């Protein structure tokens, strides 16, 4: 009797051949499908029929192929002005720029959409993405922050115009992030003055920082470094300015300790005030 075990080499070979043939057919069909799709896209690009371009662009947009879709939209946007499909086309055009990270153009196109279709059901979304495009252009805090300020203005305008928006929570989070970036920029500038021993500039910069950002997360560090600058300036001061500077430094210590009595910096601050008081006592004794 013949052995038809599952491990029969002949059966395994035949099975493998059949399996490979099926895989080959699937791969071939997939390749043909992709080639057909590419050919359809190329035909749409070359077509003179704007309806064909619109239809293909719409399909590509819905499939998440934003770069290809936008190539088609670029060709037909002028031809659709004033037509019923123009609103949808302008929206997809703007969103395609956003999805491909061309935030300069997405911001511009979403703003155009908002102005052209203020009553559209997409007007709110367009206003938000116009502002978010600006947010995406905001650089790291070490660079010039003009675009950060512009993004804040756009986001605040959106919040004012759409106080009940579904995007409100995200908009507020973006505002907080941009605000902190400006805080960090101002803080680091003031801190840098301290680092290079320009204590007068450091004190002035931290005074301005604390006035502009009274609720900053960096307030504790700002108060401490300002005290450090005031202490260093007063201890090493010329005689005719020393008393005034020592008194100012003492006031900065009191302000710091009142605000953050449990600060990790408190021991260093206590050492500073001890030296400040000793210097004041010595100065008054000489006087």
Quote the pLDDT of residue 221. 98
- For residue 181, the SS3 value is helix
At residue 182, φ and ψ (nearest 5 deg) are: -65, -40
Element spanning 166, H or E: none
Q: Is the pTM for the entire model greater than 0.85?
A: no
Spatial distance between the Cα atoms of 270 and 273, rounded to a whole number of angstroms: 5
Quote the pLDDT of residue 279. 93
Quote the pLDDT of residue 284. 78
Start-end of H helices in 101-238? 103-116, 123-136, 146-161, 168-195, 199-212, 219-235
Spatial distance between the Cα atoms of 58 and 263, rounded to a whole number of angstroms: 59
pLDDT one-digit tens code per residue, 91-130: 999 999 999 999 999 999 999 999 999 999 999 999 999 9
Quote the tokens at residue 75.
């060709």
Quote the pLDDT of residue 283. 79
Q: Describe the chain by its helix, strand, coil percentages, rounded to 5.
A: 80, 0, 20
For the chain, which residues score pLDDT lower than 70?
1-38, 287
User: How many helices (H) and strands (E) are present in the chain, helices listed first?
Assistant: 12, 0
Quote the pLDDT of residue 25. 53
pLDDT one-digit tens code per residue, 224-240: 999 999 999 999 999 89
Supply angle C-alpha 33, 34, 35, rounded to 5.
90
The owner of tokens 């895989």 is 23
* DSSP per position, 240-258: HHHHHHHHHHHHHHHHHHH
């Amino acid at each position: 009797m013949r052995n038809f075990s599952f491990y029969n080499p002949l059966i395994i070979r035949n099975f493998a051949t059949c399996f490979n043939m099926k895989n080959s057919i699937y791969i071939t069909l997939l390749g043909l499908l992709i080639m057909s799709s590419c050919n359809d896209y190329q035909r749409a690009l070359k077509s003179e029929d704007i309806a064909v371009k619109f239809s293909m662009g719409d399909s590509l947009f819905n499939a998440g192929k934003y770069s290809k879709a936008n190539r088609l939209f670029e060709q037909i946007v002028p031809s659709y002005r004033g037509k019923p499909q123009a609103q949808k086309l302008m929206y997809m055009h703007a969103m395609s720029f956003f999805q491909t990270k061309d935030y300069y153009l997405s911001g511009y196109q979403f703003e155009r959409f908002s102005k052209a279709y203020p009553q559209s059901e997409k007007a709110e979304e367009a206003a938000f993405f116009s502002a978010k495009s600006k947010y995406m252009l905001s650089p790291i805090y070490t660079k010039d922050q003009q675009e950060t300020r512009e993004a804040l203005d756009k986001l605040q305008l959106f919040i004012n115009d759409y106080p009940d928006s579904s995007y409100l929570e995200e908009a507020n989070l973006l505002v907080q992030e941009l605000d902190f970036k400006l805080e960090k920029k101002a803080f680091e500038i003031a801190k840098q003055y301290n680092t290079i021993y320009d204590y007068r500039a450091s004190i002035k910069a931290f005074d301005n920082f604390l006035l502009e950002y009274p609720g900053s997360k960096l307030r504790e560090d700002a108060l401490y470094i300002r005290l450090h600058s005031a202490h260093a300036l007063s201890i090493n001061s010329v005689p005719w300015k020393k008393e005034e500077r020592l008194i100012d430094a003492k006031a900065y210590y009191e302000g710091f300790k009142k605000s953050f009595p449990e600060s990790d910096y408190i021991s260093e601050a206590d050492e500073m005030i001890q030296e400040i008081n000793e210097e004041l006592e010595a100065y008054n004794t000489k006087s």
